[in-house]
Amino acid sequence: MKSHNTNDQKEEIIFYGLPASPGVSHGPAFRFLHSNVEVLQYQVEESDHESEIERFKEALKLTQSQIRQIREDVAKNLSEKEASIFDAHLLVLEDKALIDDVVNEIQNSGDNVEQCVDRVTRKYMDFFNKLEDEYLRERSSDLKDISKRLLRNLVGATAAGTAFLDEPKVLVSEDLSPSDTASLDRSKILGIATDTGGMTSHAVIMARASSVPAVVGLRGLTERIKEGDSLLIDGFDGVAIINPKETTLFRYGKVNVRRKKIENLLVEESKLPAQTKDLQAINLLANADSQEEVELGIQNDCQGIGLFRTESIFLRKNQIPSEDEQYIEYAKIVDAAQGRFVTIRTLDIGGDKVLSGVSNADEQNPFMGFRAIRYCLRNPDVFLDQLRAILRASAHGPIRLMFPMISGIGEVIRAKEFLNTAKKQLTENGVIFDQDIKVGCMIETPSAVMIADMLADEVDFFSVGTNDLVQYLLAVDRVNNQIAYLYEPHHPAVIRSLKAIFDAGKKKNIPVSVCGEIAGDPHFLPLLLGLGVGSISASSPLLPELKFFARRFSMEEAIKFSKKLSLMRRPYEIKEAMNIFHEERVSKIIA
């Protein structure tokens, strides 16, 4: 945090947090403070216990109805993916253990239902808050949200909102619960800034889906901001500025104008081929976890689906779907790709992706624990169901099968044995599928980097998952906002690892793609191309800008630039060099 005093205006105060949703916005600040529900405590006669329990059950029904309505509104205004957040809320409200605990508390303590609900839900929240994994700790906010809504319904209170605002404002809060965020009147929200929250918080998910600029992890912001202050949100770099000076507004105004010019150019060049300035073709693929995202990738001219995340289907249902249910989903995805290949990654559950009854909440370090291929190899029934479903879907169009989080040769061999078993089972039942389906693996652990040449003898292709690779290389939990500054994809170790992977692929004559976050960042594009990447797989909305920037430099320049970066020792030097390379080529066009 930095402060700048001026004589002619309020003090400019700069806060640094985590960029959560891209964009720049500026306007009057609105402090969205959570008013706690006052919970009275009094004794209830034993003869009235049943009526208290009935009040509890009525409040449960009302709360379920409210959340279903919120879910419906979110699905209509955003998408089914964002709406699925509230499925977990509904499951909590139907959780027999929680309901029984409240009922028992009423009967054993003799206290009023409000006090019992508050006491039981706090016990559950304390359990979640003690967990080391940030994603699981943030699920405590789900329970807090539900508890508050239940208590409001019991005491007859109404929730605060933004409907009464007379003009659009920048919302400032300690944190936002899912229903807080879903209930906001988006026409009156210019941006979102929160004291807490990480990259997996619901405020982040909803802000991105609504295209609202957002910054999280701005510790102390709500304490410093006052009524009448203005706030500027920079969702690109994770900055919030209270009462920005005229010079600051001018600088950010230029950022917005520049962004608009680029967006206009993206539309103009959308149908031009993906190639460098010297006409070297670039293979652009799309990442997806839904049929809608596959369709968007096709609209953006992708040449295939480089990553389809099957865990999205499991998480959406919050249970393990049957073979037939999976087959139907995968067949829809293949049909939506319209003849382009689809790379389907087998179940990658665990870490920051928690599935009820499957993921182990007791793990002290779930990112390096029982997840992904490790879970599949230990659960043959689940794995074989998925493999058969994928194979059956291959009759609809070209599919490539990919195994996640591989750390050794043995895992690949065992996974392929399961695949052969699934093939044999389908053949015996006369089911048609692609007998020669391509098999690949993710390179996202340091051990996989070191033995990439050996792994290449076992698979048909590699896909580099840079999100996990960076965190494992640098020993940085990528969802922990306390050490977010150490998560550095510009690190020389990352560049050297990418080079080693690409070289191994080239030597063994197998294609290598990159599908992590850096694949969608135009600043990394010349480095990846210069190092020898085979294809880039990114979120569909990012493909037009990648194609746009690729046309601004030659392959020769990319090779020369990647060699220059490979000699640099400090991440900030590499980042600065990338920014300069990008700026020099883009500024000529939009000046």
N- to C-terminal Cα separation, the chain: 32
Q: Which two tokens stand for residue 579?
A: 């920014």
pLDDT tens digits for range 15-58:
988 887 888 899 999 887 665 566 778 888 888 889 889 989 99
Nearest to 197 by CA among 348, 422, 72, 19: 19
| Whether the Cβ atoms of residue 574 and residue 565 lie closer than 8 Å to each other | yes
The beta-carbon contacts of 106-112 under 8 Å, at least 24 apart in sequence, are 106/44, 106/49, 106/52, 106/53, 106/56, 107/49, 107/53, 110/43, 110/44, 110/46, 110/49, 111/41, 111/42, 111/43, 111/44, 112/40, 112/41, 112/42, 112/43, 112/44, 112/52
In the predicted model, residues of the chain with pLDDT beneath 70 are: 1-9, 33-38, 76-79, 81-82, 129-139, 141, 155-165, 177-184, 197-206, 209-210, 316-318, 350-370, 478-482, 484-485, 591
**Within a 13 Å sphere around the CA of 458, how many CA atoms are in the beta-carbon half?**
21
What pLDDT is attached to residue 373? 92
The tokens for 534 are 């085979």
Distance between CA 26 and CA 181 in Å, rounded? 19
The DSSP code sequence of 85-104 is: HHHHHHHHHT-HHHHHHHHH
Name the architecture of domain 46-155. Orthogonal Bundle (1.10)
**467 touches 516 (CB < 8 A):** yes
Alpha helices in 156-271 (DSSP H): 178-183, 202-210, 221-224, 246-268
Tell which residue, 138, 222, 212, 234, has the closest CA to residue 174.
222
Query: Contact, 387 vs 418, CB < 8 A?
Result: yes
In whole angstroms, what is the distance from residue 63 CA to residue 155 CA? 13
The Cα 250–Cα 266 span in angstroms is 25
Residue 138 corresponds to which tokens in the numbers above? 């943030």
CA distances from 33 to 173, 174, 395 (A): 6, 7, 54
Q: What residue ranges of the chain are covered by domains with CATH 3.50.30.10?
A: 2-34+161-248
CA atoms of 444 and 432, how far apart (whole Å):
33
CB-CB contact of 262 with 23 (8 Å):
no
> Nearest Cα to 375, choosing from 390, 389, 355?
355
Cβ proximity of 310 and 372 under 8 Å: no
Start-end ranges of CATH 1.10.274.10 in the chain?
A: 46-155
SS3 call for 545: helix
pLDDT at 79: 66
Active site residues: 202, 515
Fold of 280-590: TIM Barrel (3.20.20)
Residue 476 CA, chain-centre distance (Å), reads 17
**Joined tokens for residue 87:** 């499925």
- CA 232 vs. chain centroid, Å, equals 24
Helix, strand, or coil (residue 438):
strand
Residue 505 to residue 452: CA distance in whole angstroms? 8
- Return left, alpha or beta for 446; rule: phi > 0 is left, psi -120 to 50 is alpha, else beta: alpha
Residues of the chain with CATH 3.20.20.60: 280-590
Q: Give pLDDT tens digits for 392-431.
A: 999 999 999 999 999 999 999 999 999 999 999 999 999 9
Fold of 2-34+161-248: Glucose Oxidase; domain 1 (3.50.30)
Q: Nearest-CA neighbor of 24 among 200, 233, 186, 257?
A: 233
Query: Nearest Cα to 243, choosing from 253, 231, 258, 255?
Result: 231
Backbone torsions φ then ψ of 442, nearest 5 degrees: -80, 140
Tokens of 214: 């957002």
pLDDT at 6: 44
pLDDT of residue 156: 66
Quick check: 431 and 449 in contact, CB under 8 A?
Answer: no
Measure the CA dihedral 262/266/272/273, to 10°.
90
For residue 434, the 8-state DSSP code is -
Phi first, then psi, for residue 285 (nearest 5°) are -115, 165
Residue where the block lists tokens 């659009």: 168
3-state SS string for 388-418: HHHHHHCCCCCEEEEECCCCCHHHHHHHHHH
Q: How many helices (H) and strands (E) does the chain have?
A: 24, 17
